[in-house]
Amino acid sequence: MNDAVLLDNGMNLLVEHLGQVEAERFIYLVNCDRFDYTKWHGVLSEGKTIDEIAERAMKKRKKGQMTKGIPEGEGLR
């Protein structure tokens, strides 16, 4: 897959799951913050199993503490 196709597929997925405005906001935040997804994801999941991570996310979502899949207070900044 070439870069153009990868970018197109990625943007289509973001728009499908977040909507146009939130997808563009996500791209903006990633670019502005020099976001390191690997580091961020590692901090969130450090020492936890996938089941523990999923359970934590589901509890936060039920409590209304999720912002488009990112737990509040654990975002990009």
Q: What is the mean pLDDT of residues 70-77?
A: 49
In a domain, 77, yes or no: no
The string over 11-37, giving b where at least 16 C-beta atoms fall within 10 Å of a residue's C-beta and e elsewhere, is: eeebeeeeeeeebeebeeeeeeeeeee
Q: What is the mean pLDDT of residues 4-8?
A: 93
Query: Distance between CA 52 and CA 76 in Å, rounded?
Result: 21
Say how many domains are in the chain.
Answer: 2
Q: Which three-class secondary structure state does DSSP give residue 15?
A: helix
pLDDT (tens digit, 9 = 90+) per residue, 19-61? 999 889 888 877 776 667 677 666 666 777 777 777 777 777 6
| Extended beta strands in 1-77, E state | 66-67, 70-71
Give the span between the Cα atoms of 52 and 50, in whole angstroms: 5
> Domain span at residue 54?
36-67
- Shared domain check, 44 and 30: no
Residue 77 pLDDT > 70: no
Question: Would you say residue 76 has pLDDT above 50?
Answer: no
Task: Please report the pLDDT score of residue 5 as a whole number.
Answer: 93
pTM for the structure as a whole: 0.47
